[in-house]
């Protein structure tokens, strides 16, 4: 069988969740949207169910998949419903529901609900993506209370720049939030991973860690707490072909790499169809036969090439780590001009193998 694999270390996932819990001292929803950032939502939810206060996903399709797999914990829909006809399912499965727009508020007011639902009322405190305008926030809260359709309201907002530790933007957003929620006696949820790790003074009765659970730092520079996280995913494969080239020979599509010296090239069963970023350039780190080396030439659909010249112990069949504990996904992401979030979410075709149940 093709040797490409993603190993998912569930013990590392739990370790990272515990860091989120300890640092925040708050209740924590594990964010497992987008199939747990490519790590497999059901298995990750099962691994965390005993400790997490609930889960957060992007939409009802993702939430229903958790219920079908027997997950009974609370599940928050981070964008609420997209159409009002999702409301009966939200009631039936006890999903918690973000309300980020006035049309959603109106839909709840109009709906005949068998039971009241829990709403997380989202304020646009400055990111200007979704969330209610500050002037609409208190009226929306009062209308939800008056509707009789809501059992509990949690006040929430989301940061645009919490990963920038030298920016005032997050404090500015908190100030907007505090002004908008003045006098409302309700629990608050503000912190995502970068805010949880980098902004300890920001209040949050509920935290919403995502990327940190998977062991990737949200920051561009080293950070004491973020550096305690353990990578959960190891993307592995093997060398399936080796060739010796003299100096001056091209490798791969577009001849993007030309050997500067006699070069031993290893071909690895991994490509952009697996989610390895096509934009990763020559020089992107890999580990082969236990030693760091680098990608050479363009990544193709099913294969990529690496330099074995200085790794004499490497040869046909040698194991390759594309990212994991020795090459961080964030290093690959930086080389490919993207972020570990996208690196993980893009994973496909590769079988996921779970350890540390």
Which residue numbers are catalytic?
33, 253
Q: Interface with ligand PLP includes 54 (CB under 6 A)?
A: no
**Which listed residue (14, 21, 158, 238) binds ligand PLP by CB under 6 A?**
158
Q: Interface with ligand PLP includes 188 (CB under 6 A)?
A: no
Q: Interface with ligand PLP includes 218 (CB under 6 A)?
A: yes
Pick the stretch among 146-154, 204-212, 228-236, 309-317 that binds ligand PLP (CB under 6 A).
204-212
**Which listed residue (26, 31, 188, 268) binds ligand PLP by CB under 6 A?**
31
DSSP per position, 267-298: EES--GGGT--TTPPTT-EEEETTEEEEEES-
Pick the stretch among 40-48, 89-97, 170-178, 209-217 that binds ligand PLP (CB under 6 A).
209-217
CB of 194 to ligand PLP, least distance (A): 6
Pick the stretch among 62-70, 86-94, 134-142, 207-215 that binds ligand PLP (CB under 6 A).
207-215
Q: Interface with ligand PLP includes 198 (CB under 6 A)?
A: no
Residue of 174, 192, 208, 176 lying closest to 56 (CA atoms): 208
Burial (Cβ within 10 Å: 0-12, 13-18, ≥19) of residue 20: buried
Total number of residues shown for the chain: 357
CB of 216 to ligand PLP, least distance (A): 9
Q: Interface with ligand PLP includes 193 (CB under 6 A)?
A: yes
Distance CA(232)–CA(94), nearest Å, equals 30
Closest CB to ligand PLP among 177 and 272? Answer: 177
Q: Interface with ligand PLP includes 126 (CB under 6 A)?
A: no
Residue of 229, 234, 350, 238 lying closest to 304 (CA atoms): 238
Report helix, strand or coil for 262: coil
Label the pairing between strands 285-288 and 291-296.
antiparallel
Distance CA(174)–CA(71), nearest Å, equals 33
Q: Are 12 and 325 in contact (CB under 8 A)?
A: no
**The Cα angle at residue 272 between residues 216 and 332, in degrees rounded to 5:** 30
Closest-by-Cβ residue to ligand PLP is: 210
Q: Are 313 and 288 in contact (CB under 8 A)?
A: no
The site string for ligand PLP over 71-110 (x = CB under 6 A, - otherwise) reads -------x--------------------------------
How many residues touch ligand PLP under the rule CB under 6 A: the total is 12
Closest CB to ligand PLP among 226 and 240? Answer: 226
**Which listed residue (192, 217, 263, 330) binds ligand PLP by CB under 6 A?**
192
Q: Phi/psi at 238 (nearest 5 deg)?
A: -140, 160
**Which listed residue (198, 209, 252, 277) binds ligand PLP by CB under 6 A?**
209
Q: Interface with ligand PLP includes 277 (CB under 6 A)?
A: no
Q: Interface with ligand PLP includes 208 (CB under 6 A)?
A: yes
Label the pairing between strands 5-9 and 233-245.
antiparallel
Distance of CA 118 to the CA centre of its chain: 24
Residues that bind ligand PLP (CB under 6 A): 31, 33, 78, 158, 192-194, 208-211, 218
């Amino acid at each position: 069988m093709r040797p490409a694999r993603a190993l998912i270390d569930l013990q590392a996932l739990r370790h990272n969740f515990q860091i989120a819990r300890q640092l925040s001292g708050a209740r924590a929803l594990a964010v497992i949207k987008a199939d747990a950032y490519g790590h497999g939502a059901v298995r990750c939810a099962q691994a965390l169910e005993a400790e997490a206060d609930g889960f957060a996903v992007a939409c009802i399709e993702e939430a229903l998949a958790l219920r079908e797999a027997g997950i009974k914990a609370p599940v928050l829909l981070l964008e609420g419903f997209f159409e009002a006809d999702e409301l009966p399912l939200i009631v039936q499965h006890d999903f918690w529901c973000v309300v980020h727009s006035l049309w959603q508020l109106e839909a709840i007011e109009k709906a005949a609900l068998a039971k009241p639902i829990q709403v997380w009322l989202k304020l646009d405190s400055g990111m200007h993506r979704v969330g209610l305008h500050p002037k609409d926030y208190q009226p929306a809260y009062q209308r939800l209370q008056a509707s009789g359709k809501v059992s509990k309201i949690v006040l929430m907002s989301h940061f645009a720049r919490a990963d920038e530790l030298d920016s005032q933007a997050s404090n500015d957003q908190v100030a907007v939030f505090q002004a908008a929620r003045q006098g409302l006696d309700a629990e608050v949820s503000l912190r995502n991973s970068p805010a949880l790790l980098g902004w300890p003074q920001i209040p949050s009765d509920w935290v919403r860690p995502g990327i940190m659970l998977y062991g990737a730092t949200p920051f561009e520079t080293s950070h004491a707490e973020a550096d305690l996280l353990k990578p959960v995913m190891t993307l592995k494969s093997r060398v399936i072909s080796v060739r010796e080239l003299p100096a001056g020979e091209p490798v791969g599509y577009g001849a993007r790499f030309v050997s500067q010296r006699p070069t031993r090239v290893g071909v690895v069963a991994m490509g952009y169809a697996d989610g390895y970023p096509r934009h990763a350039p020559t020089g992107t780190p890999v580990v082969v036969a236990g030693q760091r080396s680098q990608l050479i030439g363009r990544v193709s659909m099913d294969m990529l090439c690496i330099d074995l010249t200085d790794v004499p112990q490497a040869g046909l069949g040698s194991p390759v780590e594309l990212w994991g504990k020795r090459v961080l996904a964030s290093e690959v992401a930086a080389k490919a001009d993207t972020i570990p979030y996208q690196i993980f979410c893009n994973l496909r075709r590769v079988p996921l193998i779970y350890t540390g149940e």
